[in-house]
Amino acid sequence: MSKKILIATIMRAQGETGVQTHFRTYMACLRESGKPCELITPFNAPLWLVYPVFGLRKLVDLFNREIGVWWYRYWHTYFLYQALKKKLRNGEACVIYAQCPLSAQAALGARRSKIYQQVVMVTHFNISQADEWVGKGLIANGGWLYRSIRKLEAEVLPKLDGLVFVSDFMRRELVGRIPAVKEIAYRIVPNFLPDPGITADQAEPDTDLICIGTLEPRKNQRFALEIVAASVRLGRPLSLTVVGDGPDRKMLESLSLELKIQQHVYFAGFLSNAAALMPKHRSCLHVSLMESFGIVLIEALARGLPVFAPAVGGIPEVFEEGVEGRLIPLSDADAAAKIIIDWLDSPQIYRQAQRSARSRFLARFEAEQVAAILTDFLVQEKRWERVSMVMIEDGVSV
């Protein structure tokens, strides 16, 4: 029996986040292979109710941003639950592929059968969603909402029928924080993308580095500017394009003036499909303080760009040090600049890194083959049979 895959998310269908890129790419692969799938979001609920409630968050934010985050989380989960409840009410066999703990919570509450409607969640978040909100500067580290979010994760994750980890780092992190997770069936499946291809007549890049991401503290673009400043001191100025927008935009632009590197740094702002700019650059610079995986890195590998990134989170699992790129320190801009310059200015090393980057993408992150691995896990008969036997032994109604 071909089980339908319902992708549940509190996010909109369209957008530029890594989560949205993931589920859109996966749905395209499913449809191309003829497998039934459907995206369920809060916007499947009656819009005449959804929009007024969501719109009120702007007013709430004016008084208390932390309450604004709670409002966002509560109501997006509520409307997703309502949409899933309507979709699942006939008890049809399916897999609900939840994109976050809130989506998983909504799915677990809405399903009619614990056997025939299983919930599997993918761990897109970094450490915890609580830490992500802290990184955005919207909630207090260790505050009431921070503790509430972590508590919800500890309660929801052990109830899942399966977990998809985008990196072994996230598996180890969650098992260490929530030991009951060890009992859940899991598979480590990295993020994946369709092959963008490389054209033979592609022009030579005219800029050294591209750095893509929301301009916020966790993404740490400040350090990228410090690397450029260090390269100027070393006598080999690196050129950098910063793509993205966010709360740090003004600070970063001011910093470029303060460091006197404005002629070497271009702020492109937010761009849809920012990865399309990559072929105009020689390499990808990523300086986040934490990443469970780092989808922008495989966007670079796909286009044959060597990558420079720190050894944090799941990043060391994306590329091999000294082959497709280099690991750089986050505490020493001069050392990082020297590593980058040495590679970019060594033609033989650089050309080999380009070839290796492209080869690694095709072998490990190309959408069609990785999506098939993910699908096999989601609809895996042995996992379904195991859950069925546990339910029967425990006397649980299905």
Chain segment 244-277, per-residue pLDDT in tens: 999 999 999 999 999 999 999 999 999 988 999 9
| Helix pair angle (295-302, 347-364), 10° resolution | 110
* Residue 333 dihedral angles phi and psi, to the nearest 5°: -65, -35
For residue 386, the model assigns a pLDDT of 53
For the residues of 15-30, what is the DSSP string, one character each?
Answer: -SSHHHHHHHHHHHHH
Residues 320-355 pLDDT 10s: 999 999 999 999 999 999 999 999 999 999 999 999
Domain boundaries, given as residue ranges, for the chain: 4-193+367-393, 207-364
Whole-angstrom CA distances from 159 to 130, 150, 180, 276, 321 are 20, 15, 9, 40, 37
Q: How far apart are CA 183 and CA 387, in angstroms?
A: 12
Q: What is the pLDDT of residues 151-204, one digit of tens each?
A: 999 999 999 999 999 999 999 999 999 999 999 999 999 999 999 998 766 678
Inform me whether the pLDDT recorded for 133 exceeds 50: yes
Q: What's residue 200's pLDDT? A: 65
* Mean local confidence (pLDDT), 220-230: 98
Query: Quick one: pLDDT at residue 397?
Result: 36
- Tell me what pLDDT residue 204 has: 84
Rounded distance between C-alpha atoms, residue 303 and residue 138, angstroms: 35
Q: Assign residue 113 a region (left: φ > 0; alpha: ψ between -120 and 50; beta: otherwise).
A: beta
What pLDDT, on a 0 to 100 scale, did the predictor assign at position 198?
A: 82
Model confidence at 385, pLDDT cuts 50, 70, 90, reads low
Res 389 pLDDT > 70 = no
> Can you tell me the mean pLDDT for 10-21?
90
Pair 248, 216: CB distance under 8 Å: yes
Band (380; pLDDT cuts 50, 70, 90): confident
Give me the pLDDT at residue 272, please: 87
Question: Distance between CA 278 and CA 284 in Å, rounded?
Answer: 8
Closest Cα partner for 344 from 197, 227, 194?
A: 227
83-112 residue pLDDT tens = 999 999 999 999 999 999 999 999 999 999
CATH number of the domain at 4-193+367-393, out of 3.70.10.10, 3.40.50.2000, 3.30.565.10, 3.40.47.10? 3.40.50.2000
pLDDT at residue 382 in the model: 62
Q: How far, rounded to the nearest angstrom, does the alpha carbon of residue 92 sit from its chain's CA centroid?
A: 30
Average pLDDT on 373-380 reads 94
pLDDT at residue number 393: 42
Tokens of 228: 């450029």
Q: What is the pLDDT of residue 136?
A: 87
Residue 211 structure tokens: 């750095």
**pLDDT score at 17:** 86
pLDDT at 378 over 90: yes
Rg of the chain on CA atoms, in Å: 22
- Mean pLDDT throughout 280-295? 94
Task: Enumerate residues 6+ apart whose C-beta is below 8 A from 374.
Answer: 26, 164, 187, 189
- Specify the pLDDT at position 313: 93
CB 329 within 8 A of CB 340: no
DSSP letter for 321, please. B
How far is residue 185 CA from its own chain's centroid? 21
CATH class for domain 207-364?
alpha beta
Would you call 388 helix, strand, or coil by DSSP? helix
pLDDT at 282 over 50: yes
Q: What is the DSSP letter of 193?
A: B
Q: What is the pLDDT of residue 121?
A: 98
Mean pLDDT value of segment 118-140 = 93
Nearest to 171 by CA among 116, 239, 232, 121: 121
How far apart (Å, rounded) are the C-alpha atoms in residues 157 and 108? 10
